[in-house]
Amino acid sequence: MRRWMALSIMTLVVTTTALAQDSHLRRLSNGDEAKAWEAVGRLNIGGTGFCTGALIATNMVLTAAHCLFDKDTGSRIDHSQVEFLAGWRNGRASAYRSVTQAVVHPDYEYTGGISSEGVSNDLALLQLDHPIRNGKIRPFSTEAKPERGAKVAVVSYGAGRSEAPSLQELCSVLALQQGMLVTSCTVDSGSSGAPIFMVKDGEVQIVSIVSAKAEVEGQAVSLGTSLGAPLAQLQAEMVAQQDGITRRLQPGMRNDTGAKFLKP
């Protein structure tokens, strides 16, 4: 869902040795292979495209903000047209959920292009109509950005592999710049919003979300959004919007200033 771009990063050094250590994408074709990744799912968007998303709570999916914009018109896509298919594989999902609320990072602006500022805020949270409380689908925890050189993994759907998730078990963080991770992970159209993982103290944690793919000196790289402060801002925005909805729906409710909230 993004175009290739030429990216100039002065501090980035890509070596063939580092890239040679990366593993290849591996299709997770059966339940045994995919069981640790059931909380990653395909996001069907408006019947015209798809992205990747991951559960970070039983009723909350983290993905890329640009997935919620029409790439032709630039307009925001109605969240009611988005469906989360947890663990989608070979025509079936472990859970199907509609989206009741979608919140884009407050500093994100969709331009149709790629910039470091856009990537650094390219986050969205989707609230599901019902929590997914399934013993084999466990939400992932999140962690702030990893260090340069850290080994990471990515699970994603993509062009030509939309019917099952693929796992790249070993790729690397090549650079950190302006709230953006540059990694050697392999991504394609449809991989937008895919979780980038790191193992910490034996726990698999999401450390970034795929925003775009790019080229650096002829080498394919992926660009990810750092979590930490941007995710905290996004979660606060979700709470604020939920609070506003609740207030609007409660007739006769008063705030501290004495203003009266009525039914819309």
Say if CB 66 and CB 192 are below 8 A apart: yes
Report the top-level CATH class of 16-242. mainly beta
163/28 Cα distance (integer angstroms): 10
Mean of all residue pLDDT scores within the chain: 84
pLDDT digits (tens, 9 = 90+) for 5-33: 444 443 444 444 455 577 889 999 888 89
Rounded percentage of the chain residues whose pLDDT exceeds 70:
84
Half-sphere exposure of 54 (CA within 13 A, CB side): 30
121-176 pLDDT per residue, tens: 999 999 999 999 988 899 999 987 788 999 999 999 998 999 999 999 999 999 99
**DSSP state, residue 75:** P
The pTM assigned to this predicted structure is 0.85
Q: Residue 43 above 60 pLDDT?
A: yes
Q: Where are the domains of the chain?
A: 16-242
CA 22 to chain centre: 22
CA 199 – CA 189 distance, rounded (Å):
26
Number of H helices, E strands in the chain: 4, 16
List the beta bridge partners of residue 172.
151
User: How many CB atoms are located within 10 Å of the residue 129 CB?
Assistant: 14
